Structure 1
Amino acid sequence: MTREDETAATSLPTPGTGSAMLSDLLWEVSAYVELLGEARLADLPITTASSGMLMAVYAEPGITVTEISRRMPRTQQAISQIVARLEKIGLIERRLKSGRGVGLHLTGEGRTMAEHAFERERSVDEQLVGILGKKNHEALRELLVESRELLRLKR
């Protein structure tokens, strides 16, 4: 068997090419967007993951780690690690809820940081509109929202 025959026999989808599988394409695009976001947050003491956590707590003060893990595709352990780091740098605090559980709340500094992070991430989204074009940006966004809902049902 020649090398050409071996290549033809084992023609697998190749990440980074037009034959990449959907999961590879999603990972690659996500990584590029993550890089843009991290660059915008570089001078802040947070990452895009911790920014998302701040925004979740900003939107729903008192939310628990368990509630966040039900909504986001991350484990409770991963969320707890992010929360612990945010707590350590004074952006989040834990408070006992009435009944059971511990709710997460932003400190004053955490609220300010969440607002700064939101503005910067919004500028990344505007940058993506510039790169993809408004029509493609909106079409991709709509498809991802629909896909997220369908995949959440399977979780």
Structure 2
Amino acid sequence: MTRLFSGTATEPGLKFALMIRDLNLALSRHSSPDLAELGLSQAQIPVLAAIDELPGSTGCELAEATHTTPQAVSQILARLTECGMVRRESLGGRAMGHHLTDKGRTATYAARARFGSLTESFLTVLDDDDQAVMIDALWRVLNAMVDADDEKPQRETGP
């Protein structure tokens, strides 16, 4: 039986955070077979989506865009390049820009479509009004978190 860690929390902030985690794990479990069929992993989808939205981005820019470490993005990019979904382009020096190949674009759009269909099938437990309220509320929380990230002072990286 699947354990929902959010079911035991009583504090609203903790319950919210654990529910998001539980939802993410459940979505990952349900989407993994479709992604595997496309030759993709759960970790690769945000990187492919970021490259699609920000063509020519460096690994550091993709790490920031996906809230992932540069090391993890570097490993994901290496695999995506090896399998022909991403093309690297020199930006001068050691910097490399990343672009989707036709194969990568096709896989990205197919993954988004399958993921969208999967989530829609689970949203049927909510009527249209409840879906709109939930999406609006989550959007406001997400924007508040992003705004808080933007307000944090940036660390100095050198003298």
Q: Do the aligned residues in 1 keep the contact of 2:50 with 2:65 (CA within 8 Å)?
A: no
In 1: Cα distance, 2:31 partner to 2:138 partner: 17
The match for 2:115 among 121, 134, 137 is 121
Over residues 42-92 of structure 1, what are the superposed CA-to-partner deviations in whole Å (9 max), with x where a residue is unaligned? 311102221221111112211111111222221000111111111111111
Deviation at 1:144, TM superposition (A): 4.0
TM-score by length of 1: 0.76
Unpaired stretches in structure 1, ≥5 consecutive residues:
1-13
1:17 and 2:36 aligned: no
Q: Partner letter of residue 85 of structure 1?
A: R
Over alpha carbons, which structure has the higher Rg? 1
Q: Does 1:103 align with 2:97?
A: yes
Question: Structure 2-normalised TM-score?
Answer: 0.74
Q: Secondary structure at the match of 1:93?
A: strand
Count matched residues: 142
Alignment match of 1:63 (pick from 57, 60, 64): 57
Identity among equivalent positions (%) equals: 27
- Are the aligned partners of 1:129 and 1:137 in contact in 2 as well (CA < 8 Å)? no
Is the contact made by 2:31 and 2:115 (CA closer than 8 Å) also made in structure 1?
yes
